[in-house]
Structure 1
Amino acid sequence: MQLSITLPPRPAASEFGTLLRTWRRRRRLSQLSLSGEANVSSRHLSFLESGHAAPSREMVLRLAECLGVPPDARNAWLVAAGFAPLYTRTPLEAAQLAPVREALTRMMHANSPAPALLLDTHWNVIDANRTGTLLLGGDWHPGVSLIDRLVDHPALRAPILNWPDVAAVMMSRLRSEYLKDRNDPRLDALADRLYEHAADPLSLDPTEAILTLRYQSPVGELSLFTTIAELSSAQDLTLRELRLEIFFPADAESKARLEQLAGPQD
């Protein structure tokens, strides 16, 4: 007589397990390496990925910290594991964010006549100073996509005399942001929009200390280099995604022309 033994079905990988495995592979870590960093057994880590075990809230956050998972994705990890999100997303116009808004506004105007743009993570323009508005073509509204606007309106990008090089740098930044932290398909899509406009990134002169934006303004050519400021200590997701981009003059002529464009300061 032959006995038949039926084994219990293998559990399907949980949503949390899938996220954990995806991020671990993205960081190019083995289960053994990650288990050492997180001070957890490789067997338990394997069970978490396969769905054989459920993580505690502390374990979710510990693994996310070891893998450098950004706060918005950590919220997704917590929800997938059955816990409430940790990080909030407060509307920028909320009263509790007023001091931050005021500080960013001061920074934009304090650096005038250098153009300044306040952007979110998808390069939507939230605010701009007087000369920053010039780079946007003068007619814009909060929330407009800087990249969509440049791609869709040839007249807006026409004054950018080295547009292919600038597009290449912007595309590389978007690819880097997509791969590094967020894995956000919108960032990848924006980079794709720039692809046909961009020069080959390998064709850029590596001996140049910094790539300048060459812009044909109504009063003459401007040579500008860009800096980006972030609120690195922010815990709120809205604040973490803000980028203040300031375009400083690269020479005395550009500085004088920016002052002429800015006009009398208030």
Structure 2
Amino acid sequence: MTQTSTALATNSTFGKLLKDWRQRRRMSQLSLALEAEVSARHISFLETGRSAPSRDMIHRLAEGLELPLEIRNSFLGSAGFSPAFRASGWESAELAPLRTSLTRLMDAHAPFPALLLDKHFNVLDANATGALFLQGREPGAETNLIDIMLSDPAARAPILNWDEMAPAMLTRLQAESRHAGGDPVLDEFAERLAALIEPGAPHHVPNTPCLTVRYGLGEGVELTLFSTVMEVSSAFDVTISDLRLELFFPADDQSRALLSQ
């Protein structure tokens, strides 16, 4: 294969990837061109392989398409460039300062629950109260919060407002999969969760300012929590960009008192 034909094949591979992701984001060539500050004609040439992208252009297109870091590396590779973002192992020395800081944050959040999750809801770490969600399992890459909820009826049984929580969980799984361009793991979880929701069940809108999860603790005692999800801003490592720190808070005085005990 000549140098010219190799370049054309590379341009074609990148062009197909660009078009695929533009359509996944439901953007026209013009709307993407405006985001990347180029002409729609140039976007067309990139997609058909008539033009080759520069490294800077790929980064601009990735920003316009809001691509996950892992996909940005794929864009660069398809155009013949080296990856820009590394994926450090969670236990690597490079991430030790981050692990220490997040552990301190979760410990400081006690007695309220805290869970550190990756993009597939594997529980990488948890504080002592958060570990109660794991049904006796230890935090680690083999412990998955969604799988526990879907496969263990005992994990779902205490949730008094499952009819509110299940559709909200399903929406979150579907949204995160769409953002990733389709994630087989999240899609499988969504399919399994949808099977647990009664067909044609009405959509329940809670009468609270935000969605809360209500746990029955027996003898009429109820624990009500809401959660916030924190992410590391301006992450340039694939592993860090996939982290989600979920912090749970008591939604009423009774729940605060129960957790404080």
Above 0.5 in TM-score? yes
Structure 1 unaligned regions, length at least 5? 1-9, 261-266
Among 10, 13, 16, which residue is 2:14 paired with?
16
Counterpart in the other structure of 1:7: none
Output the CA distance in 1 between the equivalents of 2:204 and 2:232. 30
Partner-residue secondary structure (3-state), 2:82:
coil
CA contact (8 A) 2:173 2:189 kept: yes
Counterpart in the other structure of 1:223: 224
Structure 2 unaligned regions, length at least 5? 1-7
Output the CA distance in 2 between the equivalents of 1:128 and 1:206. 28
CA contact (8 A) 1:159 1:217 kept: yes
> Given residue 215 of structure 2, which amino acid in structure 1 is its aligned partner?
Y
Output the CA distance in 2 between the equivalents of 1:12 and 1:72. 19
CA contact (8 A) 1:165 1:198 kept: no
Residues 172-230 of structure 1 show CA distances to partners (whole Å, capped at 9, x for unaligned) of 11111122344322222221121122467962225431111111236832011111111
Q: How far 1:12 sits from its partner (Å)? A: 10
CA contact (8 A) 2:117 2:124 kept: yes
Q: Aligned runs of 1:172-251 on 2, under 5 Å?
A: 172-198=171-197, 203-205=203-205, 207-217=207-217, 220-251=221-252
Moved over 4 A (4+): 10-13, 199-202
Q: Aligned runs of 1:164-179 on 2, under 5 Å?
A: 164-179=163-178
> Given residue 258 of structure 1, which amino acid in structure 2 is its aligned partner?
L
> Given residue 250 of structure 2, which amino acid in structure 1 is its aligned partner?
P
Q: 1:254 to 1:207 in 2, by over 3 A?
A: closer
RMSD value, Cα? 2.3
Partner-residue secondary structure (3-state), 1:127:
strand
Q: How far 1:116 sits from its partner (Å)? A: 0.9
Output the CA distance in 2 between the equivalents of 1:68 and 1:248. 30
Counterpart in the other structure of 2:110: 112
**Whose Rg is larger?**
1
CA contact (8 A) 2:163 2:204 kept: no
Q: How far 1:140 sits from its partner (Å)? A: 3.2
